[in-house]
Chains A and B, each alone.
Chain A
């Protein structure tokens, strides 16, 4: 079966831009969605589809994709963005979904 992989950890200076990536064959055909998870909380979708944000998610969060890679970009990272981020992709099967292993974002 397919899998999607993420770098375990990424850091960014306060106010700078950071890109979190997700790689997998399924991403050549499908858009990823991205989830933010803070300690002790349930995940929260921040980006989905081609590049859509749910109501209430700041516009500093954006999504993109190229080839087998999907990216979540945070433009002007804030202290409150420090969290774990997970990508989700659809597998070749219609309803099977895959989470990436997660990326821990540290805002310095």
Chain B
């Protein structure tokens, strides 16, 4: 059973950079596809970005100019960087594994527990 665990600061100042890491256990980041998803308090889910085992990436167009996702195979984790944060970036941030079903449709089969990041001075 794949396990994912987010880590990073719980408080970030406006205009600064948010950095999170997702540690993966019982799976290798050198295989599969990995994503970040966030959920503002009391609101719905928003996909942020994905990275493949080979390092190819894709980003939500609404966040693309501020987001970077990366992979560290030596530590078996992947990371998220979100720059120039505002209060609107306050959310629970989840990391997840993305897989495909037999018809080629993607879905997220494993999730971390989530970490709340608050943007405030």
Contact, CB under 8 Å: A96 / B58: yes
How many interface contacts (CB-CB < 8 Å) are there between A and B?
67
Contact, CB under 8 Å: A102 / B44: yes
B37 neighbours in A (Cβ, 8 Å): 99
Interface size on A, residues (CB 8 A): 28
Known A96-B58, A98-B47; contact A45-B109, beta-carbon cutoff 8 A: yes
Pick the contact of A100: B33, B44, B58, B94 (CB < 8 A): B44
Known A43-B45, A86-B45; contact A48-B101, beta-carbon cutoff 8 A: yes
Within 62-121 of B, Cβ neighbours of A (below 8 Å) are at 94, 101-103, 105-109, 111-114
The digit string for A83-108, where 1 denotes a CB below 8 A from any CB of B, is 00010101001111111111000000
B33 neighbours in A (Cβ, 8 Å): 95
Q: Could you tell me the distance between the alpha carbons of A45 and B33 in the complex, rounded to whole angstroms?
A: 16
Contact, CB under 8 Å: B105 / A48: yes
Known A86-B45, A102-B45; contact A49-B58, beta-carbon cutoff 8 A: no
Pick the contact of A45: B46, B50, B108 (CB < 8 A): B108
B109 neighbours in A (Cβ, 8 Å): 45, 48, 54
The digit string for A19-45, where 1 denotes a CB below 8 A from any CB of B, is 000000000001101010100001111
B102 neighbours in A (Cβ, 8 Å): 49
Shortest Cβ gap from B20 to chain A (Å) = 15
Known A35-B108, A88-B108; contact A99-B47, beta-carbon cutoff 8 A: yes
Q: Could you tell me the distance between the alpha carbons of A95 and B60 in the complex, rounded to whole angstroms?
A: 10
Interface residues of chain A, those whose CB is within 8 Å of chain B, are 1, 30-31, 33, 35, 37, 42-45, 48-50, 52, 54, 86, 88, 90, 93-102
Apart from A50-B103, A99-B47: 12 A-B pairs, beta carbons within 8 A: A33-B105, A35-B45, A37-B45, A42-B113, A43-B108, A86-B45, A90-B106, A93-B58, A95-B50, A95-B58, A99-B37, A102-B45
